[in-house]
Amino acid sequence: MITAPAPVKETKNYLNAQTGLKSWLLTGDHKRIAVMYLIVVTAFFALGGVFASLIRLELATPAGDLMESNQYNKVFTMHGVLMVFFFLIPSIPATLGNFLIPLMIGAKDLAFPKINLLSWYIYMLGGVFTLYVLLTGGVDTGWTFYTPFSTSYSNGYVVAAGLGIFINGFSAILTGLNFIVTIHRMRAPGLTWFRLPLFVWAHYATSAIMILGTPVVAVTLFLLVLERGLHIGFFDPAYGGDPVLFQHLFWFYSHPAVYIMILPSMGVISEVISTFSSKKPFGYTFIAFSSVAIAVFGFLVWGHHLFVAGQSIYAGLVFSILSYVVAIPSAIKVFNWAATMYKGRVRLETPMLYALGFIGLFTVGGLTGIFLSSLGMDVHLTDTYFVVAHFHYVMVGGALLGYLAGLHFWWPKIFGRMYSQVWSKVSAALVFVGFNLTFFPQFLLGYMGMPRRYHVYPPEFQVFNVLSSAGASVLALGLILPAIYLTWSLKHGAIASANPWGATGLEWQTSSPPISENFEVTPVVTTEAYDYSTVPQEVVHVG
Amino acid sequence: MASQVVPHEEVVTLKHHFANDEQQLDASTIGMWVFLVTEIMFFGGLFLAYFAYRQAYPAAFASASNKTNLWLGAANTTVLICSSLTMAMAVHSASLGKRTLLVLFLILTLILGGVFLGVKAYEYHDKWVHHEVPGAHFDCEGCDDAGHAPLFFSLYFGMTGLHATHMLVGFVILSIIIVQASRGKFTAKWYTPVEMFGLYWHFVDIVWIFLFPLLYLIDRSHTGLK
């Protein structure tokens, strides 16, 4: 096992430039902070996954034989809180975005390295609050914290959970702020806006949502904590307030937040599809502006979460129409990805498999979103498993698959090692099959009327629930595999070249892993993005 | 030019990842403005709640707003506007490299900020004594629509409390900047922290400029001045 480090080694890079725990915990290097984020985000994902497993285990039978209703409430709440706030939102921006944006724009670092590190510590502090909630007995409100249940009746640790998410929000705000300033001011000479990789455009749009939306949920949770902790009331009718106001404020952020989760994935997919088709993305400007359009329209549709909450029918109509409109920029992306592959030299490497999975699943998730944005249909489907299936198709089938595609795509760049091609393809297949088996039956369950958030259900729903739980096992296996072979690759993987996939983009022109300063000399950009004529096409990785 | 410049310690203020001073200053400035945008959204949620409830329960709000102390509120508004002036003078002094003036204006700003917080604390105490804090002991004597009157005070404490928290944070940062300024950290060439803090301070003032009429003035005349 301990083979002498062969002739090639001993090149300086950001990983070995300094050693010791302190050199990591006090680093300003965006690449190291990205790796630190990667570690904790993965840990929170695993924890959220444990709760998902408990849910599927309980639902394998119609009776409540594993948990009582109160425990079940806490389990699905923790699953939602961990996955949404501690995994999906930071997943791609804080890891891949943090690592890649300075590299992609030819900068030495983000504009504010210390603020970048601070955002990691804020994230950790928010995480500590959430773990405290977990260890002391949990919270049972659902991840949406609807009032007045959360402020007046819940038995859980609402204040600590609210504060955890409040604090965590500031890490996203600081990351978004850093990205916006960096993209505006740190681009290499010659790198104009329309030469930027689409990944950067997607992150720019994401950052805009982060800085405009996150403060609103922060203040909403602040008010929630005031009401529950100090009885300074805003939402509970007992204090003269209106619970629907909470829903408006909450969804004003939380709907755009789903675009915080999906837009970075779309950025990843644009890079991966282009690279493995060796073709410039079809309609670069359309894809770039569709990210911005999604960010803008994303702020105008929150009311579709309130169709049955007593909002006026006219407001409902407007929100319904605007929700349809979001489908347009999303569809532009899907069609453009398909057109990019058309007549391209498509190579089915692991990142591409995940990307193709993304396109299929995101399309299903998006189209079922159209069902939900139509007023009449939504009344039937509200709070059923149809909604659960819809957002898991977007959040797991979309955001998570995009994250996995990106992780597999840039892994050689981040750690300088290749992973097992066989196992990674097996994992991609397992994830795709397991995911569909888990969530497709839930569309049917929801259409048949099974409500979400109950741990017992009528026996006639059992077949689909068993299918779903079986699928979850396959999905879990598919997600455990990368944890093993990627970790294994850190020591034993083949050494990756600077550009193992034959990709364009500045990040592939520096060594793998990059040096601390990213580039030996600041690059000067003279060509459009995705100019494959400059990439030697015989480059095919080994692994 | 400035007599206080110590010639031997030419401090390197350009961070390694910036190409030049201009890029670094631009980054700080854009960063600060973006941060202020997030602050607007942060306060925005509370303003929205205020507008929604004021619209829904005008009688409760009109009568409850009489319980605020108009003269203390007006005095505090004046104090804050003056502190914005001294802050602007401080930034100007920094740009001219006049260290003594810079420190003087910063200290004046600090004092005015302190006065504001002191008056605010007195007002809070007064509300507490008169049972005008929402909760079990709440009692709004003579308020119309008493069922919704607590909302006004919830918003009053929520909005002015959040504002006062921002003042407190500013107070701490300002103290640090005063120490740095007196040690000669800032020069006419580089005084970015002073300038950025100035933006923050003005922003917090502007929030108050909106809070004062919303909480103290609107509809007050219905029931006359106290």
Burial letters A316-339, b for 16+ CB under 10 A, else e? beebbebbeebeebbebbbebbee
Enumerate the H helices of A3-157 as residue ranges. Answer: 21-25, 30-58, 69-81, 89-90, 98-104, 113-136
Does A188 touch chain B if contact means CB atoms closer than 8 Å? Answer: no
Q: How confident is the model at residue A274 (pLDDT cuts 50, 70, 90)?
A: very high
Mean pLDDT of B115-137: 88
DSSP string, B43-90: HHHHHHHHHHHHHH-HHHHHHHGGGS-HHHHHHHHHHHHHHHHHHHHH
User: pLDDT digits over A177-205, tens only?
Assistant: 999 999 999 999 999 999 999 999 999 99
User: pLDDT digits over A357-367, tens only?
Assistant: 999 999 999 99
Instruction: Name the DSSP letter for residue A84.
Output: I
- Which candidate, A25, A226, A256, A221, places its Cα nearest to that of A126? A221
> What pLDDT is recorded for position A417?
95
Mean pLDDT of A273-299: 94
Q: Which of residues 13-52 of A touch B (CB under 8 A)?
A: none
Does A470 touch chain B if contact means CB atoms closer than 8 Å? Answer: no
Measured distance CA(A25)–CA(A15) in Å, rounded: 13
Cα nearest neighbour of B39 on chain A: A215
Q: How far is CA A262 from CA A79, A395, B159, in A?
A: 19, 7, 34
Mean pLDDT of A292-297: 94
> What pLDDT is recorded for position A7?
47
CA distance B56 to chain A (A): 10
> What pLDDT is recorded for position B3?
45
The alpha carbon dihedral of B120, B123, B124, B125 has a sign of positive
Measured distance CA(A184)–CA(B223) in Å, rounded: 53
Q: Mean pLDDT over all residues of chain A?
A: 92
Q: CA end-to-end span of chain A, whole Å?
A: 19
Does B48 touch chain A if contact means CB atoms closer than 8 Å? Answer: yes
Residues of A in contact with B52 (CB under 8 A): 242, 245
Residues of B in contact with A184 (CB under 8 A): 30
> What pLDDT is recorded for position A11?
77
With respect to residue B12, please indicate whether it lies within any of the assigned structural domains: no
Cα nearest neighbour of A102 on chain B: B17
The alpha carbon dihedral of A130, A135, A141, A142 has a sign of positive
Mean pLDDT of A457-468: 95
Cβ contact, residue pair B42, A219, below 8 Å = yes
Q: How far is CA A453 from CA A80, A533, B70, in A?
A: 11, 54, 50
Q: Which of A173, A181, A234 faces B154 most closely, judged by CB atoms?
A: A234
User: pLDDT digits over B42-74, tens only?
Assistant: 999 999 999 999 999 988 888 888 888 999 999
Does A185 touch chain B if contact means CB atoms closer than 8 Å? Answer: yes
Mutation for testing the B interface, residue in A112, A207, A219 having most B CBs under 10 Å:
A219
- B95: domain CATH number is 1.20.120.80
Cβ contact, residue pair A186, B30, below 8 Å = no
Residues of B in contact with A216 (CB under 8 A): 41-42, 44-45
Q: How far is CA B23 from CA A186, A205, A207, B16, B200, in A?
A: 8, 22, 21, 12, 21
Mutation for testing the B interface, residue in A167, A177, A217, A242 having most B CBs under 10 Å:
A177
DSSP string, B162-184: HHHHHHHHHHHHHHHHHHHHHTT
Does A214 touch chain B if contact means CB atoms closer than 8 Å? Answer: yes
Q: Which helix (DSSP H) or strand (DSSP E) does residue B134 occupy?
A: none
CA distance A156 to chain B (A): 21
Structure tokens at A303: 């009311």
Measured distance CA(A118)–CA(A112) in Å, rounded: 10
Over 90: is that where the pLDDT of A494 sits?
A: yes
User: pLDDT digits over A478-491, tens only?
Assistant: 999 999 999 999 99
* Residue-number span of the structural domain to which B186 is assigned: 24-223
Measured distance CA(B65)–CA(B221) in Å, rounded: 10
Contact between residue B27 and residue B204 where contact means Cβ atoms under 8 Å apart = no
Any idea what the Cα angle at residue A219 is, between residues A217 and A221, rounded to 5°?
A: 70
Bridge partner list, A451: A384
Contact between residue A110 and residue A30 where contact means Cβ atoms under 8 Å apart = yes
Mutation for testing the B interface, residue in A110, A152, A181 having most B CBs under 10 Å:
A181
Cβ contact, residue pair A245, B23, below 8 Å = no
Residues of A in contact with B147 (CB under 8 A): 240
Does A215 touch chain B if contact means CB atoms closer than 8 Å? Answer: yes
> What pLDDT is recorded for position A536?
67
Q: Reduced to 3 states, what is the DSSP secondary structure of residue A405?
A: helix
Tokens 């602050």 map to which residue? B39
Mean pLDDT of B194-198: 96
Give the distance from CA A357 to its chain's centroid: 15
B135 φψ region: left (φ > 0), alpha (ψ -120 to 50), beta (else)? left
Does A306 touch chain B if contact means CB atoms closer than 8 Å? Answer: no
> What pLDDT is recorded for position A543?
40
- Rounded to two decimals, what is the model's pTM? 0.93
> Prior bond to A243 cis, omega within 30?
no
Over 80: is that where the pLDDT of A315 sits?
A: yes
Structure tokens at B177: 């900047």
With respect to residue B17, please indicate whether it lies within any of the assigned structural domains: no
Measured distance CA(A503)–CA(A496) in Å, rounded: 14
Measured distance CA(B70)–CA(B93) in Å, rounded: 35
Q: How confident is the model at residue B221 (pLDDT cuts 50, 70, 90)?
A: low
Cα nearest neighbour of A218 on chain B: B42
CA distance B4 to chain A (A): 30
> Prior bond to A102 cis, omega within 30?
no
CA distance A248 to chain B (A): 10
Contact between residue A92 and residue A175 where contact means Cβ atoms under 8 Å apart = no
Structure tokens at A491: 């020591």
Cβ-Cβ pairs closer than 8 A, A with B, add up to 112
Q: Which amino acid is at B120?
A: K
Question: Which distant-in-sequence residues (6+ apart) come within 8 Å of A311 by Cβ?
Answer: A244, A303, A319
Cβ contact, residue pair A216, B27, below 8 Å = no
Any idea what the Cα angle at residue A229 is, between residues A225 and A230, rounded to 5°?
A: 110
Residues of A in contact with B150 (CB under 8 A): 233, 239-240
Q: Mean pLDDT over all residues of chain B?
A: 89
Q: How confident is the model at residue B224 (pLDDT cuts 50, 70, 90)?
A: very low
Mutation for testing the B interface, residue in A151, A234, A249, A253 having most B CBs under 10 Å:
A234
Does A107 touch chain B if contact means CB atoms closer than 8 Å? Answer: yes
**Span of A162-166, A447-451, B141-145 with lowest mean pLDDT:** B141-145
The alpha carbon dihedral of B196, B199, B202, B203 has a sign of negative
Measured distance CA(A237)–CA(B221) in Å, rounded: 28
Over 80: is that where the pLDDT of B179 sits?
A: yes
Following CA atoms A207, A213, A219, A221 in sequence, which dihedral angle do they give, to the nearest 10 degrees? -100
- The domain tally of chain B equals 1
Instruction: Name the DSSP letter for residue A371.
Output: H
> What pLDDT is recorded for position B222?
56
% of residues, chain A, pLDDT over 90: 85
Cβ contact, residue pair A186, B43, below 8 Å = no
Over 80: is that where the pLDDT of B8 sits?
A: no
Q: How confident is the model at residue A233 (pLDDT cuts 50, 70, 90)?
A: confident
Bridge partner list, A495: A417
Q: Reduced to 3 states, what is the DSSP secondary structure of residue A417?
A: strand
Bridge partner list, A384: A451
Q: Which amino acid is at A74?
A: K
Q: How confident is the model at residue A10 (pLDDT cuts 50, 70, 90)?
A: low
Contact between residue A102 and residue A186 where contact means Cβ atoms under 8 Å apart = yes
Structure tokens at B42: 């942060």
Q: Exposed (0-12), middle (13-18) or buried (19+): which is B207, by Cβ within 10 Å?
A: buried
Q: Which of A181, A216, A223 faces B27 most closely, judged by CB atoms?
A: A181
Residue B139, number of CB atoms within 10 A of its CB? 11
With respect to residue B5, please indicate whether it lies within any of the assigned structural domains: no
Q: Which of B38, B56, B150 faces A239 most closely, judged by CB atoms?
A: B150
**Span of A98-102, A113-117, B17-21, B96-100 with lowest mean pLDDT:** B17-21
Q: Dmax of chain B from CA atoms? A: 70
CA distance A341 to chain B (A): 38
Structure tokens at A3: 């083979």
With respect to residue B215, please indicate whether it lies within any of the assigned structural domains: yes
Q: Which of A180, A219, A241 faces B46 most closely, judged by CB atoms?
A: A219
Q: Which of residues 90-149 of B touch A (CB under 8 A)?
A: 133-136, 147-149
Q: Which of residues 185-204 of B touch A (CB under 8 A)?
A: none
CATH of A27-534, picked from 3.30.70.100, 1.10.510.10, 3.40.50.720, 1.20.210.10, is 1.20.210.10
Mutation for testing the B interface, residue in A32, A117, A185, A225 having most B CBs under 10 Å:
A185
**Span of A48-57, A87-96, B58-67 with lowest mean pLDDT:** B58-67
Burial letters A246-274, b for 16+ CB under 10 A, else e? bbbbbbbbbbbbbbbbbbbbbbbbbbbbb
Q: Which of residues 232-271 of A touch B (CB under 8 A)?
A: 232-234, 239-242, 245, 248-249, 252
Cβ contact, residue pair A522, B37, below 8 Å = no
Cβ contact, residue pair B39, A215, below 8 Å = yes
Length of chain A: 543
Measured distance CA(A26)–CA(A110) in Å, rounded: 16
Structure tokens at A54: 């408990």
